[in-house]
A and B are shown apart, each in its own frame.
Chain A
Amino acid sequence: MNKIGLIIAREYVARVKKKSFIIMTILGPILFAGMMALVFWSATREGDQKLIQVIDESGLFENKIENTETITYQFILADVEQTKQDLIESDAIFGLLHIPKINLDNPEGIKFYSLQSPGIAIEGGIEKRIRGIIEDEKLVNSGLDQTLIDNLRAHVDIQTINLSDSGDESESNSGVAFGVGYVSSFLLYMFIFIYGMQIMRGVTQEKTSRIIEVMIASVRPFQLMMGKIIGIAAVGLTQFVLWAVMTTALTSVTSSLILDQPSTTEQLAMQAGGELDAEQIEEQNKAFDLMSITDKIDIPTILGSFLIYFLGGYLLYGALLAAIGSAVDSEADSQQFMLPITLPLIFSMMMISIVIQEPHGSMAFWLSIIPFTSPVIMMMRLPFDVPAWELALSIALLVAGFCGTTWMAGRIYRIGIFMHGTKVNYKTLAKWFVMKI
C-alpha cells in the first residue's frame, strides 16, 4: 500500500472506531428527524382556527370573502373604535379588517388590526382576495356587455384552470422540492462544517503533539495533508451511507405503521422522511404513500449530486481548514481565521430563503455556480429542475475550486506544520505561501 493509502487507512480506522462516531451514527437520524418534526410541527401550528371580523363600509365585499380552512371571516356592522377595543379584550378574535368606503380605481385606507403580527401568509391571503373582488367589480363597472364579460371570464377561467392545474401541481411539487432541497442543503452544510472542522482539529493535534515531526521524515507534507483530508471524507461518506440506510429502514417501518394508524400520520411521517412538508402530508393523510411523492423528485440525481457536492464542498473548505490547522499552535488561535473561511458557507445558508423564492433567478444561478456557495445553493435548487449545463458548469468550477484551494493549502501547510510559537497573521500566511522550501 502506498503512503497516502496508509495515512487514509489510519485516519479512517481511528475515527470510525471512536465511540462518538458510533453514537452519532445511531443517534443522528433520530435526532435529526426529531428536529425536523419539531420545525414542521411549529410551522403547522399556525393552522389554528382564526376568526377575523370584517367591517365593510363600502358594501362591496359583504360575504364575498370566502373562508379558508383556518380563517373564518365574520362580517359585522359596528363602530370601528369599539370593535378595536373588543379585539384587545377578547381572545377569540384574531383580527379586525376595516374596509372604509373606497374608490375602486384607487382603493386606499383598508386596514387590518390585530394584537399579533398577522404574518405574511394571512396578510397576503387577504390582499389577494380583496384584489380579486375589486377586479371583478371593476369588470362589471366597466360597462362591458354581460355576455362579453362572461366570455372573457370563461376565457380567464380556462386560463385559471390551466394555471391552477399546473400551478396546483407545481405548488404541491414545490412543497416537496422545497423540503428535499432544504433538507439536503442543510445536511450538506452540516457535513461540510463538521468534517471540515475535524480536518482542522486533526492537523493542529498532529502539529502540537509533534507526531508530525516523526512522520515528515517518511512522507511528504502534501501526502500527509491529502491523506488526512481523504481519510476524513471517507468517514463522512460512511456516516452518510449509514444514515441513508437507517433512514430508509425507519421510513419503511413507519410508513407501514402509518397505513395502520392514520391518526398518527403526521408525526410519524415527519420522523420517517424528514423531507415532507406539512401540506403534503395533509393532502396525503388518508393513504400515505411515500412513493407517490418521491416519484416526482429525481432521487438518483439528488443523491448523486449530494455526494458530488459533499465531496467537492468538503474538499474546497477542508483544504483551507487544513491550512489553518497547520498554521496555528492551538485550536483557540484558529478563531480569527475561521470566520472569513466559514463566512461563505454561512452566507449560502442565509441566501437559501432568497433562492427559494426564485430558484431560477440570476441570484440563484450565480450562487450555485460560484464554488464557495455552490454546494449548498445547488442542492437547494436541484429539486426545481436545474438545466444540465448549469449543473455541469457548477461541478466543473467546484472541481477547479478545490484543486485551487488544495494547492494553496498545501503551500501553507508544508511550512506551517514546522512553525511553533510564531505569531501568525495573514501576512505570515502569504509569506509562507510564496516561500521556497
Chain B
Amino acid sequence: MDIIKIDGISKSYGDHLALNNIGFSIPQNSVFGLLGPNGAGKTTLIRIITQIIMPNSGQVLFRGSPMTAEDVRKIGYLPEERGLYKKMKVSEQLIFLARLKGMSRPDAVKSIKHWMEKLDIMTWHNKNVEDLSKGMQQKIQFIATVVHNPALIILDEPFSGFDPVNANLIKDEILELKEKGATIIFSTHRMESVEELCDQITLIHHSKILLHGAKKEIKNQYRNNTFIAEYIGQIPISDNGFEVLETVALEDEIVRSEIRISDDYSVNDLVNFITSKTRILSLNEKIPSINDIFISTVKPANHE
C-alpha cells in the first residue's frame, strides 16, 4: 500500500516553475530516496507534502485520500536548514516542539526521556542549546522530528554536520524506525547513504522526474555487461566481442581493465579470454553506483 501518492503536482513561484506535473507513489514502510541536484524542487515538494505551501495544481493523497491537517500531524519533518532556540533548555525545547505536534505533556516527557537515553544525551537535558556542540544539536533536532512517533518521517539532508560515529547512530535509528513500521522520505546529496538505506528512489531534475522506482531495478537498468578484471599480463584492446574500455596500471605489474561484453558472449567466455592471455587475479561485474546513475542522468539533462 502507498502511504503517499503525489498526483500531478505543479508549483511555480512567479515565472519560475519549481515542479512540473510531478506524480509518483511512496510505498508504506519503505525508505524512499528523493534525489536531485540543488534547486531541483525537492524542498518545494517536501513543503507541499507537509502543507507548508500549497501546489498550483494536483494533490497529495495520504493512505489513499486527500491529505488533511490531521494527517500532517503524523509526519515528522527534519528540514535541511534547521535550528533551535539558543537560549532555551534542551528538555524545555523538546517538550515545546512535541506539544506543538499535539502531544500531551506527560506523553512528551516520556518519549523525550526514551530518546535522550537512546542517543546518549540525557546528561545534557538541563543545558541551554547554545552550550551544545553542533552534532549534539543535530541529535536534539532528530529527536524533535521523531518524538511523536510519526508514521511518515521526512529527513532533508539528515547527516550534514554529523561525524561518522553519530551518522551511523542516526542511520541505525532510521532503519529501526522502518522496522517498527514507519515510512521514511530521505532527501540527500550523499549517494553512499542512499545506496545503503533506500529501497525506492526518485530523481527530480529541472522540476521533472528523471528516474523513479525500486533501487534494485534502477541499478539493474543501468547494468551494461561491463566487468572489471585485475590481472598480470596484457590483453588486446578489442577482440571477439570484448571491448576494453579503460586500462589502469596498478602496482606490482598488476593491471585493471574495464571490459564490456557484447550480447552474444557470457562471463565464462570473458574468463576464458583473459586466462588464455594473462594470469587473472579477480573479475567482478561493474554495477553502477547510484552516484554514477545520478551523474549520468543529470549531466545529459543539463544540456537539453
Q: Spell out A's residues near B (CB within 8 Å).
A: 1, 3, 6-7, 10, 14, 209-219, 420, 431, 435-437
* CB pair A214 B53 closer than 8 Å: no
Contacts of A431 in B (CB 8 A): 14
Interface 1/0 per residue, B178-218 and A, CB below 8 Å: 00000000000000000000000000000000000000000
Q: Which of B74-82, B229-237, B294-302 is near enough to bind chain A?
A: B74-82
Contacts of B99 in A (CB 8 A): 1, 6
Cross-chain contact A217 with B14 (CB below 8 angstroms)? no
Q: Can you give 15 A-B contacts (C-beta < 8 A)?
A: A6-B100, A14-B85, A14-B87, A210-B81, A211-B82, A211-B85, A213-B79, A214-B77, A214-B78, A214-B79, A216-B52, A217-B50, A217-B77, A218-B100, A435-B13
- What are the 9 tightest A-B residue pairs by CB atom distance, in nearest-first order? A210-B83, A209-B83, A213-B79, A217-B77, A218-B100, A211-B83, A210-B81, A437-B53, A217-B50
Residues from chain A with a CB closer than 8 A to the CB of B79 are: 210, 213-214, 217
Closest to B148 in A: A218
Least CB distance from B153 to A in Å reads 11
- B100 lies within 8 A of A211 (CB): no
Whether the pair A6, B52 counts as a contact (CB closer than 8 A) is: no
Q: Do B97 and A218 have beta carbons less than 8 Å apart?
A: yes
Chain B: how many interface residues by the 8 Å CB criterion? 29
Q: Which of A211, A214, A420 has the most CB of B within 10 A?
A: A214
- A7-B100, A213-B82 known; 10 new pairs, CB 8 Å cut-off, are A3-B100, A6-B99, A10-B96, A14-B87, A14-B88, A209-B84, A209-B85, A210-B81, A214-B78, A214-B144
- Residue interface mask B65-99, A partner, CB < 8 A = 1: 00000001101011111111111100000001101
Annotate B110-153 by CB proximity to A: 1 below 8 A, 0 otherwise.
00000000000000000000000000000001001000000000
Is there a chain A Cβ closer than 8 Å to B42's Cβ? Answer: no
Contact A214 B83 (CB under 8 A): yes
How far does the alpha carbon of A431 sit from the alpha carbon of B50 in the complex, in Å?
Answer: 24
> Which of B13, B75, B81, B84 is A217 in contact with, Cβ under 8 Å?
B75
Main secondary structure of the interface of B (DSSP, over half): loop
Q: Which residues of B contact A210 (CB under 8 A)?
A: 79, 81-83
Is A6 touching B96 in the complex (CB atoms < 8 A)? yes
A105 to B82, CA, bound (A): 84
B109 at the interface (CB under 8 A from A): no
Give the residue name and chain of the A residue nearest to B53 (CB).
A437
Complex Cα distance, B54 from A436, in Å, reads 8
| Least CB separation from B86: chain A residue | A209
Complex CA–CA separation, A6 to B100 (angstroms): 7
In whole Å, how far is A7's beta carbon from the nearest beta carbon of chain B? Answer: 8
Q: State A215–B81 Cα separation when bound (angstroms).
A: 12
| Chain B residue at smallest Cβ distance from A224 | B100
* Minimum Cβ distance to chain B for residue A210 (Å): 3
CB closest residue in chain A, given B73: A218
Chain A residues within 8 Å of B5, by CB: none
Q: Which residue of B lies closest to A216 (CB)?
A: B52
Complex Cα–Cα for A77 and B50 (A): 94
Contact of B141 among A7, A214, A436 (CB under 8 A): A214
Q: How many Å from the CB of A240 to the closest CB on chain B?
A: 24
Question: B260 — which chain A residues lie within 8 A by C-beta?
Answer: none
In the bound assembly, the distance between CA atoms of A10 and B77 in angstroms comes to 21
Complex CA gap A106/B81 in Å reads 81
Return chain B residues, CB-CB under 8 Å to A219.
100
Q: Name which residue of chain B comes closest to A10, CB basis.
A: B96
**Which of B72, B75, B100, B101: most chain A CB closer than 10 A?**
B100
A432 and B100 CA atoms in complex are apart in Å by: 27
Nearest Cβ on chain B to A84's Cβ, whole angstroms:
67
Instruction: Report Cα–Cα, A436/B11, bound state, in Å.
Output: 10
CB distance from A436 to the nearest CB of B (A): 7
Q: Decide: B83 and A213 in contact? CB cutoff 8 A.
A: yes
| Complex: A218 Cα to B75 Cα, angstroms | 9
- In the bound complex, residues from chain A placing their C-beta under 8 Å from that of B97 are 214-215, 218
Q: Residues of A contacting B81 with CB < 8 Å? A: 210, 213, 420
Is B54's CB under 8 angstroms from A437's CB?
yes
Contacts of A214 in B (CB 8 A): 77-79, 82-84, 97, 141, 144
A287 to chain B: closest CB distance in Å?
Answer: 52
Q: How far is the CA of A211 from the CA of B75 in the complex (A)?
A: 17
A431–B79 Cα distance when bound, in Å, is 25
User: Which A residues touch B52, using CB under 8 A?
Assistant: 216-217
Interface centre among A215, A420, A431 (most CB of B within 10 A): A215
Complex Cα spacing A435 to B97, Å? 29
Chain A residue at smallest Cβ distance from B101? A218
| Complex: A436 Cα to B14 Cα, angstroms | 9
B contact residues around A1 at 8 Å (CB)? 99
